[in-house]
Amino acid sequence: MFVNKLATKPILVIYIIIVLIILLAFDITKANQLISLTIFRCDGGYRTVTFENNSTKVYKKVRSGDIPRSYLYKDSLYFFDNKTLISYNLISKKYSRLLDLKVFLNDEYIPWLIGSVDQKVIYFSVMKYKRKTSNSNQKYLYSLYSFNKQNQSVEEIKINEFNSPYFSVYNEKVYFKNKEGQICVFDGFKIKSLDILGDSPSVSPNGKKIAYLSYEWGFTCVKIYNINSKRKFTLIKSFGPKSVTPIFRWHADNRFIALKKKSDLKAMPLYIFNISNKKLIEKIDESKACNWFFYNES
Residue 30 belongs to a domain: no
Residue 16 belongs to a domain: no
Residue 5 belongs to a domain: no
Phi, psi of 273 (to 5 degrees): -115, 150
Task: Supply the range of the domain harboring residue 42.
Answer: 35-294
Q: H or E element: which one contains 125?
A: strand 121-130
Q: What is the DSSP string of 193-242?
A: EEEEE-EEEEE-TTSSEEEEEEEETTEEEEEEEETTT--EEEEEEEESTT
Q: Which of 295, 294, 293, 296 has the alpha carbon at shortest distance from 79?
A: 293
CA distances from 271 to 35, 39, 87, 169 (A): 12, 12, 27, 23
Residue 176 belongs to a domain: yes
Please give the pLDDT value at position 298: 42
Which domain CATH number covers 255?
Answer: 2.130.10.10
Please give the pLDDT value at position 28: 42
Residue 173 belongs to a domain: yes
Answer yes or no: are the C-beta atoms of 76 and 110 closer than 8 Å.
Answer: no
Q: How many domains does the chain have?
A: 1
Please give the pLDDT value at position 27: 46
Mean pLDDT per block of 10 residues along the chain (298 residues) reads: 49 56 44 71 87 67 84 94 93 93 88 95 90 59 95 94 94 95 95 95 97 90 96 91 89 94 84 94 87 76
Residue 252 belongs to a domain: yes
Task: Say how many CA atoms lie within 13 Å of 205 toward its Cβ.
Answer: 13
Residue 182 belongs to a domain: yes
Residue 248 belongs to a domain: yes
